[in-house]
């Protein structure tokens, strides 16, 4: 006799129904009509185990949010982490047809159209979990794989089906190396080498020791956050200030699009020892804010630069890090 879907699996403590989860992930129970419409829109038959779980709880953030791997990925040597599980629908930001759902990741981020992306990851779009139909066809039983955008969309096999994936999730506590990770990254900030790009940029204005300034700023930011990442907070914005200043005195930045291209090699990406190993669009939000407030201006015969007044403010603020 075939085992029922999720037979003997206890979901009583599976979900973390935080305010954020309820707002961004959890939707109403999907009707059969909605499921059929979503399948038609996605182009794939959703697995029965996924549908059954979504009828119980349509999307959300699992308390156990890690899955073991047999090989190294961009996230870890031995596991991947998920931020949440996308539900069946269009209304929630993180539903399969939502504004940041599976369709968005395929159409806007270039992810392969060989399945349905059901889990986002902590990298803010740079890796995803997918129901992969490559070996079974659009109406078959898909495998679950990890897809790494930073490694040319490399796939790492996770589970033979969705139910196996859910049953295999484990708590992040199993892999908690945060204390040692913090020690390691602080040591790297102290002694590691900045990118070749920044090494060149530092030489343009030696009135400030930008090497030392950035190391001290990043140390404060990491101690405050517990990890190295630049987002939408005050210290991150100061880091964007410094990077933009160095960029603007070394290159002619003629557009927002050029800034987006020139930004990553400094700290966000590359084989540098000091790197955040990824980025989201917070630095573009920073650019828009500075441009709208007229703290960034365009020179008459050149590119974007800080106004003299804002430059003075910036140099005053970074004195504490020299």
Distance of alpha carbon 167 from alpha carbon 159, whole angstroms? 10
Q: How confident is the model at residue 1 (pLDDT cuts 50, 70, 90)?
A: very low
Identify the three-state secondary structure at position 132: strand
Q: 19-175 — its CATH code?
A: 3.40.1580.10
β strands within 133-270, DSSP E: 143-148, 154-159
Of 99-108, 160-169, 192-201, 295-304, the one with minimum mean pLDDT is: 295-304
Is the separation of the CB atoms in 148 and 80 below 8 Å? no
Distance of alpha carbon 291 from alpha carbon 82, whole angstroms? 35
The pLDDT tens digits for 175-214 are: 877 778 888 899 999 999 999 999 999 999 999 999 999 9
The pLDDT tens digits for 257-315 are: 999 999 999 999 877 799 998 888 899 999 999 999 999 998 877 799 999 999 999 99
Distance of alpha carbon 230 from alpha carbon 236, whole angstroms? 5
Determine the average pLDDT of the residues in 219-239.
Answer: 93
Distance of alpha carbon 61 from alpha carbon 122, whole angstroms? 12
Decide which of 72 and 46 is more confident: 46
| Summary mean pLDDT of the chain | 93
Tokens describing residue 237:
């914005």
């210290």: which residue's tokens? Answer: 235
Tokens describing residue 299:
């020179």
The pLDDT value recorded for residue 258 is 95
Q: Which of left, alpha, beta for 53 (phi over 0: left; psi -120 to 50: alpha)?
A: alpha
Q: How many residues does the chain have?
A: 322
Boundaries of every domain in the chain: 19-175, 178-321
The pLDDT value recorded for residue 228 is 92
Write the DSSP string, 251-319. Answer: S---SHHHHHHHSTTTTTSSS-SS--S---THHHHHHHHHHHTTSEEE-TTS-EEE-HHHHHHHHHHGG
């Amino acid at each position: 006799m075939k085992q029922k879907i999720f037979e003997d699996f206890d979901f009583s403590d599976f979900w973390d129904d935080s305010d954020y989860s309820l707002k961004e992930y959890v939707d109403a129970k999907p009707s059969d009509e909605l499921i059929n419409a979503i399948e038609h829109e996605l182009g794939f038959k959703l697995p029965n185990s996924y549908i059954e779980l979504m009828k119980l709880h349509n999307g959300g953030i699992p308390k156990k949010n890690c899955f073991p791997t047999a090989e190294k990925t961009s996230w870890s040597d031995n596991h991947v982490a998920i931020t949440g599980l996308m539900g069946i629908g269009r209304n929630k930001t993180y539903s399969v047809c939502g504004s940041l759902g599976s369709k968005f990741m395929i159409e806007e981020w270039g992810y392969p159209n060989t399945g349905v992306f059901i889990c986002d990851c902590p990298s803010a779009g740079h890796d995803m979990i997918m129901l992969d139909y490559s070996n079974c066809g659009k109406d078959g039983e898909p495998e679950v794989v990890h897809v790494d955008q930073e490694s040319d969309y490399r796939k790492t096999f996770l589970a033979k089906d969705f139910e196996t994936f859910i049953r295999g999730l484990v708590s992040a506590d199993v892999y908690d190396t945060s204390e040692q990770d913090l020690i390691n990254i602080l040591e790297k900030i102290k002694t590691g080498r900045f990118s070749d790009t920044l090494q060149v940029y530092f030489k343009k204005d030696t009135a400030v020791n930008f090497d030392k300034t950035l190391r001290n700023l990043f140390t404060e930011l990491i101690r405050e956050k517990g990890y190295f990442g630049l987002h939408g907070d005050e210290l991150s914005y100061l880091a964007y200030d410094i990077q933009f200043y160095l960029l603007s005195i070394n290159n002619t930045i003629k557009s927002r699009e050029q800034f987006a291209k020139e930004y990553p090699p400094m700290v966000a990406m590359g084989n540098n020892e000091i790197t955040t190993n990824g980025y989201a669009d917070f630095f573009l939000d920073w650019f828009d804010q500075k441009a709208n407030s007229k703290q960034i201006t365009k020179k008459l015969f050149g590119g974007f630069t800080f106004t003299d007044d804002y430059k003075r403010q910036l140099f005053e603020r970074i004195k504490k890090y020299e």
